[in-house]
Amino acid sequence: MRAFVAVELSDDIRNALGEVISKMGRFDLPVKWVEPANLHLTLKFLGEVREESAPAVARAMREAARSAAPFDLRLTRAGAFPSLARPRVLFIEADDDPPVTEELARRLDDAMSQLGVPREVRPFRKHVTLGRVRRPAPLGLAADELRSLASKGFGPMKVSQIVLMRSQLTPSGPIYEAVERANLG
């Protein structure tokens, strides 16, 4: 199964980000926008995991979750990888209080590497992906609009668990299914 470990967003935040995505759709950009129901904050992308490995992956996730206390999450600023001037991925950055997501992501990376999952090569960056740019294109006024929409912030929401998600890729977009949940602390 194709899988990842994530923080699920509250319905309020998903709905608010869905409105941002809808407003950005007016700009006729070459962007594949994320369906609001699929919005999340990825802590560790696992890639393809054998079904028989799923229990070990879930145990490792639960162990990492026990090391982190519940926290508040707020989505704050618009951004893009590699930059808003040359975007490939459009996102909203996240702030956590107390700051635990980086340590949680590191613990997940360590635990999953012992199960054969490759380590992350890029530094962890707290964000929620809004869309992926299909072909290089300047955002122009859309970048200003995205910054403006994101500047009001979204949240806070209390995060008390993380989830192992299965991702099934389909022609119309991915379908995510929660496989296992783990409480923090």
All structural domains of the chain, each given as residue ranges with its CATH number in brackets, are: 2-183 (3.90.1140.10)
pLDDT of 138 above 90 = no
Please state, as a whole number, how many other Cβ atoms lie within 10 Å of the Cβ of residue 119: 9
pLDDT of 100 above 90 = yes
Which candidate in 44, 107, 126, 127 is catalytic?
127
Q: What is the mean pLDDT of residues 106-125?
A: 95
**What torsion do the CA atoms of 10, 16, 20, 25 make, to the nearest 10 degrees?**
90
Known catalytic residue: 127? Answer: yes
CA distance 82 to 66: 33
pLDDT of residue 140: 86
Q: What is the mean pLDDT of residues 33-56?
A: 95
How does the average pLDDT of the chain come out, rounded?
94
Q: What is the mean pLDDT of residues 151-171?
A: 94
Structure confidence at residue 136 as a pLDDT band (50, 70, 90): confident
User: Could you give the percent of the chain with pLDDT greater than 70?
Assistant: 100
Q: What is the mean pLDDT of residues 165-178?
A: 92
Structure confidence at residue 86 as a pLDDT band (50, 70, 90): confident
Which candidate in 40, 44, 107, 166 is catalytic?
40
Q: Spell out the alpha helix ranges (H) of the chain.
A: 11-24, 54-66, 101-113, 141-151
Please state, as a whole number, how many other Cβ atoms lie within 10 Å of the Cβ of residue 12: 11
CA distance 141 to 145: 6
CA distance 64 to 92: 25
CA distance 59 to 65: 10
pLDDT of residue 5: 98
CA distance 184 to 165: 16
